[in-house]
Structure formats: C-alpha cells, structure tokens
Amino acid sequence: MEFFRLRSTHWRYFNYPLYVPEGQRKVLRVLSDQGVTGLTAELERLASLGSPWAASTLGYLSLLPSSSGNRDPARAMEYCAKAAADGDAYALFVTGWARSLLTQDRVRAAELMMASRKLRFAPATIALAFLAWPSADASLKMLNDAVTLRHKAAWAFRCGFFRTGRLGIGRQILGYVLTPFVRLQYALAAWIDPFSVGVVVLTITDKRPAFRSVGD
C-alpha cells in the first residue's frame, strides 16, 4: 500500500519519472511529508554525505525545464562531477546530457553515455540513439540495446525512427501502426512505477517544467 501512496505523491508533484533505486525509496516519504522543498533539502544532505545517487538526481532535476522553461546544465555538471569521475552510471548519463547541452560537444557527450551504457544504465542507450540519429545503423543498434535492457520507451523511439521513412515504406507504415500502442505501453509503465530506471527518458525538446505547480 505504501508504494501506491508514494506513486500517487510522485505524480502530484512531478511531470516526469524520477529514478529512485529500490534501496533509496524511503526518501520519497520526505516528498510525501514535506513536498519538493523537503525532498530537495534531503537530496542535498545525502549528496553532501557522498551519495552518488542523490547527487545524480539533483543533476537530473537541473537538466529538466524549470517553471520558466530554463535548464541548468552547468549546475548539473557540478552536482555530478565527483560521482561521474568515480564511474557512477547515473552520473555519467546526466553529465553526458549536460555536456551536450552546455558545450554542444556531442563527441564527449557520446563518450560519457557509452561509459554509462557499458554499466547497463538503460536510459543511456536511449540518449545514444538521439546522439547517433544521423546514422541509422548506430541509432537502431542503441534502440535494440534499450529493448534488451527492458527500457519501456525503446519501442516508442524505434517507431519514431521507422516513421521517418529512412528504413523504407514498409517500416514507415509499421511505425505509424504501432505508435499508439507502444506510446500507451510506455505511459502505463511510467504511471505504474515512475521510479524505475526503465522509464527514465531525458529529451531536450520537452517543454513541461519538472514540477507541477503544487510543488514548484
């Protein structure tokens, strides 16, 4: 019952999934009791004590749009600097996106994402598909990896790739046919467990703020 209460609390405050490892989900009680301000303070406290997950989460939140639509990749890199240097998969993922947004250095961003992918961090495979988009073969390889790692958005992005028509009319039609079903599948997975690593997706095109107005 507590998990369902925490899930409901999450969607009360957040517009996006938020990866929380199973052993760290007690922190969500702070969100339930004190809202976003309390959760952020607790994450800051845990990060100061050396928690790579807390530091990476603060970095991830910095990359999501604020209420004014701004992202803060420089702050994200500051939060994740030590954890990324220590080889933490989540921190490498966040730093890779921050590097891409802040400096437009796609090569370094891809290197960081590849390091995260090697640690089997599923969201990094989705990110690599974006970074490799000009290359159909490389992009599809990353999306296939995401399917293998059971990322719930992998098929939705594969269908998006199919719809471009770059792989022929047959797959283009297939992409259009499957898209409503795979999008629904992802939406249900994210609603059921918004804390799973398998539903985290970070894109630079989404405009929704990280927090709903009640928690901003």
Domains contained in the chain, CATH given:
2-204 (1.25.40)
Segment among 3-7, 136-140, 155-159 with least mean pLDDT: 3-7
- pTM for the model: 0.89
Joined together, the tokens standing for residue 173 give: 């039609």
Model confidence over 76-113: pLDDT tens digits? 999 999 999 999 999 999 999 998 876 777 788 889 99
Phi, psi of 14 (to 5 degrees): -110, 150
159 and 180 Cβ atoms separated by less than 8 Å: no
Q: What is the mean pLDDT of the chain?
A: 89
Average pLDDT of the residues in 147-167? 91
